[in-house]
Structure 1
């Protein structure tokens, strides 16, 4: 899919850049997450300068775990930390990332930002046909969101490779390879910024 994007039809999806996923003591820490924070901040700043819609995709769960996947239910038992539960410090965005009034926030409870959310209708209503994606983590929430975007026929889908991360560089690279094979552009932040003219 072509990487060239125009302001009024592009959205930047910022996925799961929350304390529980990114910080070194986060209960769901992705090892590569902290290192990408500066580039995620830069991508958000650039998107705002260019007039792109910035969409914050976050995980927020019921503190009792009633809306979590079956394989994660055990994390919400008595006395456990309750990862990314609504209103918790762990569910907050990492320092340096702030939702502004002109941005949009989508709350999800599964890997894909499109699954059981209104993201697609919001994007359609805004006339968006091109997506750029940053955040964590590549094999799960990034990949699932990107594959759903491809299935929904977005004209251009781009993963910013140095503003996304996985537990290891090898896992990150393998998933980027798979996404390229379905037509997704995988660009560095610098390349993406240069492509948006």
Structure 2
């Protein structure tokens, strides 16, 4: 789904993914895909799915595709979610723990929903380091974005810019 402010961060997301791959960091794509009839959609979004009309993030629809420039490569991993958090009702936590991964770097949209809930779940699940690249994440307005970044920073989440992260050893 389109999020105001989302298109502006695509170049930074692309760069973050490229840097992660060069560093040997596993890239995990978390995508939202729903049943075309909306049977697995949150109650507050069910009105977007009606008989004869697929909803905005229906499996196989344009709204469920990655935006131009973002490409899932064979060595990457894809997790399909149906709620805000990438951890809620998915196998992401067990996959990461089995792989020995204890640190996360998060990019994407939307800061007050998907980013925030995924990050707070990662903190609650005791991931050692959780990083949100501040200019490779976005929400509908800069004010909402910054308020949520502030909240995440207050629970110990690192919030570097893309340039700072690229220059670090993370």
Q: State the shift of 1:95 in Å.
A: 1.0
- Cross-structure match for 1:104: 77
2:142 to 163, 169, 176: 169
1:135 aligns with 2:108: yes
Structure 1 segment 152-163 matched on structure 2, within 5 A? 152-163=125-136
Greater RCO (CA < 8 Å, at least 6 residues apart): 1
Q: State the shift of 1:32 in Å.
A: 0.5
* Structure 2 counterpart SS, 1:192: helix
Q: State the shift of 1:90 in Å.
A: 1.6
Give a deviation string over 1:83-113, Cα, whole Å, max 9, x none: 1100112211111111111100000000000
Stretch of structure 1 that moved more, 75-84 or 160-169:
75-84
Q: State the shift of 1:78 in Å.
A: 3.0
Structure 1 segment 71-82 matched on structure 2, within 5 A? 71-78=44-51, 80-82=53-55
Q: State the shift of 1:81 in Å.
A: 4.8
Q: How far apart, CA to CA, are the structure 2 residues paired with 1:89 and 1:182?
A: 36
- Cross-structure match for 2:62: 89
Q: List gaps (5 residues or longer) in structure 2.
A: none
Q: List gaps (5 residues or longer) in structure 1.
A: 1-20, 22-28
Q: TM-score, normalised by structure 2?
A: 0.97
Q: How far apart, CA to CA, are the structure 1 residues paired with 2:63 and 2:44?
A: 20
- Cross-structure match for 1:190: 163
Deviating above 4 A after TM superposition, structure 1's stretches of 4 or more consecutive aligned residues are: none
1:70 aligns with 2:70: no
Q: TM-score, normalised by structure 1?
A: 0.84
- Cross-structure match for 1:41: 14
Q: How far apart, CA to CA, are the structure 1 residues paired with 2:31 and 2:72?
A: 11
2:5 to 28, 32, 50: 32
Q: How far apart, CA to CA, are the structure 2 residues paired with 1:46 and 1:124?
A: 23
